[in-house]
Amino acid sequence: MTNLVSDLGGVIYSFDSTLDPIKHQLAFNDLINNNHLENADLKTHLELEWQSILKGDLKIYPIKSGIDNLLENLKSSKLIIVSTSLAKTSKLLLETLGIPTVGVEIFDISKYGSKKDKKAWQQIFHKYTHIDVIVEDNPQNLLVSSNAAYELGFRPEAHLAMPLLTK
């Protein structure tokens, strides 16, 4: 079975109706600013994200091609989510978008560091015997995660959007 590591925001959903990655981030930033939490820590920001999605105050817009490809990939892949969201937020997002969560492993990378930090990725990747595919919408994060995997001896495919994997 293929180990498929994926981000969520920008891959299967956006906070922006036009699916623009910059506007996606701006919507999150506006949430923080509108709640006067600019100086709060990341954990507080991530808790606000979860509460706002639950209440419907932070709208999520599905990326249909990403969801369709992911659902097909799940027939032959184990899904490993690495996101800068609380695990409960990632689970909520998956369920809301109709993606089964049974058997999915979810990591909040902020518990390990940052997506810009190779060592944070390696702490997660160490748990696996192979990493086959990495999907990350941010080119810098994709490069860091791929390099982290390579240093551990893995040779994953790297993608900026959810591919349809061949069997």
- The confidence score (pLDDT) of residue 120 equals 98
> 47: phi > 0 → left, psi -120 to 50 → alpha, else beta; which?
alpha
Average pLDDT, rounded, for the chain:
96
List, in sequence order, the alpha helices (H) in 10-158. Answer: 21-34, 42-55, 64-73, 87-96, 118-125, 139-151
Residue 31 and residue 55 in contact, taking contact as beta carbons nearer than 8 Å: no
Residue 49 and residue 86 in contact, taking contact as beta carbons nearer than 8 Å: yes
- The confidence score (pLDDT) of residue 167 equals 61
Q: State the helix-helix crossing angle for 139-151 and 118-125, rounded to 10 degrees.
A: 50
CATH superfamily of 2-13+62-159: HAD superfamily/HAD-like (3.40.50.1000)
**Number of continuous H segments (helices) and E segments (strands) in the chain:** 6, 7
Mention every residue, 6+ apart, whose C-beta is less than 8 A from residue 50: 85, 86, 88, 89, 92
pLDDT of residue 81 exceeding 90, the answer is: yes
**How far, in Å, CA of 74 to CA of 2, rounded?**
9
Q: What is the pLDDT of residues 14-43, one digit of tens each?
A: 999 999 989 999 999 999 999 999 999 999
For residue 165, how far is the Cα from the chain centroid?
18
pLDDT of residue 154 exceeding 70, the answer is: yes
**How far, in Å, CA of 26 to CA of 66, rounded?**
21
Domain range list for the chain? 2-13+62-159, 14-55
pLDDT of residue 101 exceeding 80, the answer is: yes
Q: Give the CA distances from residue 121 to residues 65, 76, 113, 146, 156, in Å, rounded to whole numbers and listed in that order.
A: 26, 23, 8, 9, 13
